[in-house]
Structure 1
């Protein structure tokens, strides 16, 4: 089986083909998790009787899964077959998408209520026995757990894709190409998000059961509040693409042939270097042996993470956490990032729903508008933030002040949430049954004219009277008859004035039309640019927030600090964000869908109350971010590494040559003094190391007889050893060392 290598498949055995399959997984991750989940929020609420809090729970469980399983799986895969792990992760993510689509195929066809409109929408005197006829509500609510399982699988696959995927790319391409490949991978995620918003929104224009029901025979359209679009198609398509692409990665070798050839060239260079070093005189060997113990102590001092506690990882983790907890700059930057993450995570989930309800848009158009605003603004802001930090050569204080300015400018756009369409008077909610305005906090859909009709809020069938007053349903308007074409309801006891439509001269008095009284709204054209600026300025601060974590921590703490920062931001920000925003949206509900099992999804929201609550929450979190960054600016002091910036260099002169050996270690988590720049993966996760230069120079070395030149969190670090007199060890030369070998490691032998 392992020897099965057909020649025609070898065209895929290269870094570009590997990148293609990884990009397919990255695209699916953005398409499903950041696109479809936001677009389908309202449809899932309507179809399965879920609340906004339930939708927030579905979004948050991804972060729980990624935080718990992502680090563990990444740690295991970092020591194993990375392409195979990535193939399995994409298959798991595809399975998660298919699980998300599963409820559509295991439930009955969706009934909007119009099929039994004479029984459920008009006024019926006598006992209401509808509860005994409907038993689906309780069963449908259990599908919440199916969605949670799907999101858990998506979290396992998605988190592994970005940790192990980056490491796999870095292992198989050159240093110059690695950043380009990683950028392409991240770019495909953003493309997936954009396609998820647009394509997923367009699918909502099709009825959820369009395969079985002729859309021309459905007497409704997406403007109906009970409409449910084809939410499941996107999950099904994304899952199938992932299932198709995943197995290709299982066929890749642990190392690509290109990497193997480069490694063979490095080995030849090392042999040549070994031959040159062996030809040197060994006159100082006795002196080096006498200095062995002293040099080993110095080496361990300059690599703080190698200590007498290296065999006790729990103690090391506790020590590092204790150090970071005494770093006020790190704490304040992390607090600010958490507050921003709550805002971003919450509104990314519910922005399409807010646009749909606040500005009376269809689900598809609301989703497309949200995608056209959020994706370009976020991408442009993040790129500009990184460019400004590099162009202006900002340090911690400069980046903190830049973030304060951009977040303050972003706060101005929050006022856009006050923009809303003119409120439509709804009888019993925002107006009394005699068309007089009443306070929003008084909701009573029952009046003397309909108290004998036994109306419920299970079906929302809005109707509009000639005087512009909207009723929740024909039953609440007291209507007892329906026209032949189903467009009008007649004999409506709550409608006082007779009707005289010019286009319908034969319509009977006390008639209402089967539609809403919504007027054209232009406020959305003010809202969307304001949201664009809000997102744009917010995302300018995202890259500096990460860079500040690198600049305010010690060299040997940076990868761990990034991992801890990412963990706290995810668990305290991204995770509770959708839950918090969903709860606030639920609290602004005026009328719930009432079933025999209790309240399910919300039909009508209090627009003013919802906008006020969201503005208060966003401004509070934004104030926390700004104050935290201000304190980070005040607390930060110019950082001085615990390791000496310049180690003493010992130079010994012989009758023939003078040799100086300099050791430069490149890596991330667990890396020691040296030129630190690049991605490093440690036991606790992965992170991006900063840039700091420290040099360790042991005395004149004896001929290298050990292939040990790097120590790292995963015991696998890329190293760069530079010797004088034009003797250069190739940069791609890498080796392994075990923790229990550290104590026996002799730096003089390097």
Structure 2
């Protein structure tokens, strides 16, 4: 009797430790996706803070993938040989360190200064139209010693290096966490446990987007400046939110998440699979021998496994599809907040919040239904390939509707329209001055927009020909504006003119369509990823998944944000210009070209990805998958388990590479 109680106690202890690990790894997924989604949502704020082009911001964002590349294949292949919980704990702590390093520039730099014509003594009216005045803010072509001191430093390098360190720390969490659950959980319990982890991978981006929305609405130097004196609002393209505050929160969450892993064991008894203590002991000894044998032959198996994967036509075609489609989706998700800002005239805070609310719930539901569909209907791998392809293609066709949900360019006199309100050729500096402001001695490169009572925006109150003003801060109203042709007193207020009700409705349609698209694509994701997992041999699975992650990072995660950012820069109509004449972040884009790039390039990439997808469907008609039953068209019971394992891996992979997120949203 005593021996039986001892066995039960041992079993309960192992189960409880496994569930402790499950709770810890779920929190780790929450923390890593929280950090990822927050960071990707703050790209625009970082661009404005350091006054750098979008292409450089893309490189900073890609540094996360560079850090991940250092370890991904080796962790996937060698990681199971070591103490996995401790490796995960170290990874979480390193992520915390990376986040802390990213926030350092805020404490090392001077306060943020945005370009403005409203400088000095307001009572002098020197920033308004003054025929006898002099230009207050004139870019200098020959920098003096004073000018050199004001040139922006390379503080953004801290953000880049910190993001790279965060990528290094994130590497062991997914592959080692999932393999630990697979090794020690019951086969029938594994899908349920992985489902908990999937939930954490969705909760993290949700919290990350909410945190980003809050921080983007708080001024970057809150507490050290009087916000009542600001002449910009969160909707202004010069606004910078408190990006550093959220990163510090992410750092603390990652460090706290690391602590439990250092108290978890290296191995456990298989959950519920032992009938007596002797079997437990024998199984443990057998596993130790197996691990030793594997350690002895690590390098011997690596090259044969790699050769086998490269000679697998289905695997290589799937790899090609993943790289092409990840190029499309990474660009869409990373720059979606900027697109909503520029196309629909919303603030960063509003854009991030709306993206999270409209996209994350459908993604979560799609993954859930995708997994249930695979289990309930016992779908084979070949059927899964067809389902994934057809659903993805339906989403692709639906995607083209976005091209019709557009808003016109913001009407800015001298940039997108003439001073008479007529459309003009879109060239930087084209007809900035007009007869109404030719003698006003206005700065022609300073971006300090005002909205006239005629519904037309101007680059500054001076260029609008305004001669007087009342009020301070955001309440300033400019009067006697010679360029604003209206009946009665012509006036202007700070900021660009609103795009109107019709544009707001277009945004609603775009978000609804984005929600439907997210659901359909996530519904197809699990069947698609099952094809990847079932087309390779069981002993090659870990390396195959690692190579897949490696390839998508090096050919999509790193280059895509850089070249996409450079293409976006090419549509810029007006760059920020500072006293030394150096350019900063883009203030306004040509919305039509911006839209064509943002929607058109991903559409072209996705269209190309269906060519190898068709070849996969053809090959699968004759190709016999490893472990597939030769006498029937059904997948054996073990394949069902693998399919469920694929559920989680797909979820985490997508969260890492999308952002909205799916993840990195």
Larger Rg: 1
**Structure 1 residues 17 and 75, CA, compared in 2 at 3 Å: closer, same or farther?**
same
**Structure 1 partner of 2:457:** 470
Q: Does the aligned pair in 2 maintain the 1:346–1:579 contact within 8 Å?
A: no
What per-residue deviation string (whole Å, max 9, x for no partner) do you get for residues 625-656 of structure 1? 2222112112334334689989xxxxxxxxxx
**Structure 1 residues 211 and 168, CA, compared in 2 at 3 Å: closer, same or farther?**
farther
Q: Does the aligned pair in 2 maintain the 1:12–1:18 contact within 8 Å?
A: no
Q: Does the aligned pair in 2 maintain the 1:31–1:192 contact within 8 Å?
A: yes
**Structure 2 partner of 1:14:** 17
Range that drifts further, 41-50 or 473-482: 473-482
What per-residue deviation string (whole Å, max 9, x for no partner) do you get for residues 467-497 of structure 1? 222111224334455435462335655x163
Q: Quote how far apart the aligned CAs of 1:609 are.
A: 0.7
**Structure 1 residues 85 and 369, CA, compared in 2 at 3 Å: closer, same or farther?**
same
**Structure 1 partner of 2:57:** 55
**Structure 1 partner of 2:207:** 195
**Structure 1 residues 463 and 71, CA, compared in 2 at 3 Å: closer, same or farther?**
same
**Structure 2 partner of 1:547:** 530
Q: Does the aligned pair in 1 maintain the 2:135–2:443 contact within 8 Å?
A: no
**Structure 2 partner of 1:237:** 249
- Within the candidate set 247, 255, 263, 2:259 is matched to 247
**Structure 1 residues 605 and 248, CA, compared in 2 at 3 Å: closer, same or farther?**
same
Q: Does the aligned pair in 1 maintain the 2:328–2:603 contact within 8 Å?
A: no
The answer to whether structure 1 residue 332 and structure 2 residue 345 are counterparts is no
**Structure 1 partner of 2:171:** 159
Q: Quote how far apart the aligned CAs of 1:121 are.
A: 5.0
Distance 1:320 1:148 in 2: 34
Q: Quote how far apart the aligned CAs of 1:197 are.
A: 0.8
- Within the candidate set 262, 279, 284, 1:269 is matched to 279
**Structure 1 residues 272 and 539, CA, compared in 2 at 3 Å: closer, same or farther?**
closer
Distance 1:272 1:17 in 2: 25
Q: Quote how far apart the aligned CAs of 1:433 are.
A: 2.5
**Structure 1 residues 597 and 625, CA, compared in 2 at 3 Å: closer, same or farther?**
same
Q: Quote how far apart the aligned CAs of 1:580 are.
A: 3.5
Distance 1:47 1:644 in 2: 55
**Residue aligned with 2:433, SS:** coil
The answer to whether structure 1 residue 489 and structure 2 residue 478 are counterparts is yes
Consecutive unaligned residues of structure 2, counting only runs of 5 or more, are: 1-12, 284-292, 631-635, 651-665
Distance 1:378 1:96 in 2: 28
Q: Does the aligned pair in 2 maintain the 1:552–1:636 contact within 8 Å?
A: no
Distance 2:640 2:253 in 1: 36
**Structure 1 partner of 2:290:** none
**Structure 1 residues 136 and 235, CA, compared in 2 at 3 Å: closer, same or farther?**
farther
- Within the candidate set 495, 503, 509, 1:526 is matched to 509
Map 1:614-629 → 2, pairs under 5 A: 614-629=598-613
**Residue aligned with 2:416, SS:** coil
Q: Quote how far apart the aligned CAs of 1:579 are.
A: 2.5
Higher strand share: 1
Q: Quote how far apart the aligned CAs of 1:422 are.
A: 3.8
TM-score by length of 1: 0.72
Q: Quote how far apart the aligned CAs of 1:265 are.
A: 6.1
Q: Quote how far apart the aligned CAs of 1:548 are.
A: 1.4
**Structure 1 partner of 2:414:** 428
Q: Does the aligned pair in 2 maintain the 1:426–1:472 contact within 8 Å?
A: yes
**Residue aligned with 2:574, SS:** strand
Q: Does the aligned pair in 2 maintain the 1:84–1:249 contact within 8 Å?
A: yes
Q: Does the aligned pair in 2 maintain the 1:355–1:361 contact within 8 Å?
A: yes
Q: Does the aligned pair in 2 maintain the 1:555–1:641 contact within 8 Å?
A: no
Q: Does the aligned pair in 2 maintain the 1:342–1:574 contact within 8 Å?
A: yes
Map 1:278-297 → 2, pairs under 5 A: none
Range that drifts further, 240-249 or 520-529: 240-249
Q: Does the aligned pair in 2 maintain the 1:49–1:137 contact within 8 Å?
A: no
Q: Quote how far apart the aligned CAs of 1:430 are.
A: 1.5
Distance 1:144 1:614 in 2: 25
Q: Does the aligned pair in 2 maintain the 1:137–1:597 contact within 8 Å?
A: no
Paired residue total: 599
**Structure 2 partner of 1:30:** 33
Q: Quote how far apart the aligned CAs of 1:582 are.
A: 2.0
**Root mean square deviation of aligned Cα:** 3.7
**Structure 2 partner of 1:410:** 395
Range that drifts further, 527-536 or 15-24: 15-24
**Structure 1 partner of 2:344:** 359
**Structure 1 residues 362 and 644, CA, compared in 2 at 3 Å: closer, same or farther?**
closer
Between 1 and 2, higher relative CO (CA 8 Å, sep ≥ 6) is seen in 2
Q: Does the aligned pair in 2 maintain the 1:67–1:570 contact within 8 Å?
A: yes
